[in-house]
Amino acid sequence: MNYAGFWIRTAAYLIDLIVVFLIYLFPLIIFSVTLAVISGMGGNFTPEQAKNMGGWFGFITMFFLQWVYFTVMESSERQATFGKKWLGLIVADEGNNRISYSKANARYWSKYLSAIIFGAGYFMVAFSQKRQGLHDKIAKTFVIKSEPTESEISEPSSSAVRFEKGRKSYPAAAPDRAIGNGFKYAGFWIRFWAYLLDCLILSPILYIEGYVSGYAIGTIVRERGGDIKEALKEGLMVLLPFLILIALVEMWLFYSFSESSNWQGTIGKKILGLKVVDEEGRRIEFSQASKRFWWKIWHSLLLCIGFFTIAFDEKKQGLYDKSAKTLVIQASEEGEESPLKPPSVKSSGGNESYLEMQERLKGLSKTKAKK
């Protein structure tokens, strides 16, 4: 097994803290708006009482969210949190298998023991032979890199189909076939219209959030004796950063889940017959879709230059596509060979179907095992 070291695990943990904090913003805003509404309806809270309630709510909510997030994610089929998945790490047991929910709990609660002893349980990762922290040793778990080692992929595959976790992968010759003749890159304007359709789909959700925010500001207006100007100033200072963060999280989830799903695109892209694939013509992972989204946000701050490159690039890639190593293509029309289908394999009996090839490979593996 390829054990994950101290620094890559630290980076994954920092990413997870950001994700948990973004999730935490949802209940925090609901709590804040509820408190404002109750106050507007006649509830009297001193600043000290509001501060105490907010502190306890934040502590309990964050404590609960972290527990659920780490235990559920690490015991799921993904075997990893978003931070670990993004950096290509998974949590496994001693047999390199997915861990149970009880083992994920044992690992999580043992982390507090690792922290109590001045963080020594975490620093053990840097010096342990198998890169285990104290909590890993207690729960009998390992954090490993999910990519196969050279010994695991050294078997010959002249006509074989190689399988990766969660998706199909083809031999070295397949990418050329996959993105060769008949492969149509989606241009600037069709992608622009797909984006507008997605904005229309998201607009009702954003409208509801704006309505709730307006109600909260209205409550502040009543508290200020009708001083709308002062209320707007105070309300926007408090709510605007949270609204921006919520909108970003919603868009991130919408784009990342849609583009890494079986649809391989958002609803807008699906309507216009577009798909998002990696540079080898395959469905992208959630981590890659997330990278694509956040690069898109970053490049949108650079005067949208990253978007206009689509019009001039040979493969119609925006800067965020290049950064995430993705392509947006037009789905094959009926009757054409789909670039996402596995290529036919020539055999003595003519064209061999994908399923037939899969069965033949299973037979070869069994024969090799007997020898």
How far is 182 from 336, CA to CA, in rounded Å?
Answer: 8
Residues 196 and 244 in one domain: yes
How far is 117 from 130, CA to CA, in rounded Å?
Answer: 21
* Beta bridge partners of residue 90, listed in sequence order: 144
The domain boundary, picked from 145, 165, 196, lies at 145
Which residues in the chain come in under a pLDDT of 50?
Answer: 149-181, 333-355
Q: Determine, yes or no, domain membership for 271.
A: yes
Q: Determine, yes or no, domain membership for 370.
A: no
Residues 19 and 136 in one domain: yes
The domain boundary, picked from 95, 127, 145, lies at 145
The whole domain housing 195 covers: 184-330
Residues 140 and 193 in one domain: no
Residues 188 and 321 in one domain: yes
Instruction: Return the C-alpha torsion angle 183, 189, 194, 199, nearest 10.
Output: 150
Q: Determine, yes or no, domain membership for 192.
A: yes
Residues 326 and 242 in one domain: yes
Q: Determine, yes or no, domain membership for 169.
A: no
Number of domains, the chain:
2
Residues 105 and 192 in one domain: no
Q: Determine, yes or no, domain membership for 300.
A: yes
Q: Determine, yes or no, domain membership for 27.
A: yes
pTM: 0.46
The pLDDT of residue 341: 43
Give how far Cα 301 sits from Cα of 81, 192, 320, Å: 28, 17, 12
The pLDDT of residue 59: 83
Q: Determine, yes or no, domain membership for 65.
A: yes
Separation of CA 123 from chain center: 28
The 10 Å CB-count burial string (b at 16+, else e) for 225-256 is eeeeeebeebbeebbeebbeebeeeebbebbb
The pLDDT of residue 177: 35
The pLDDT of residue 280: 85
Residues 196 and 263 in one domain: yes
DSSP H/E element including 19: helix 6-40
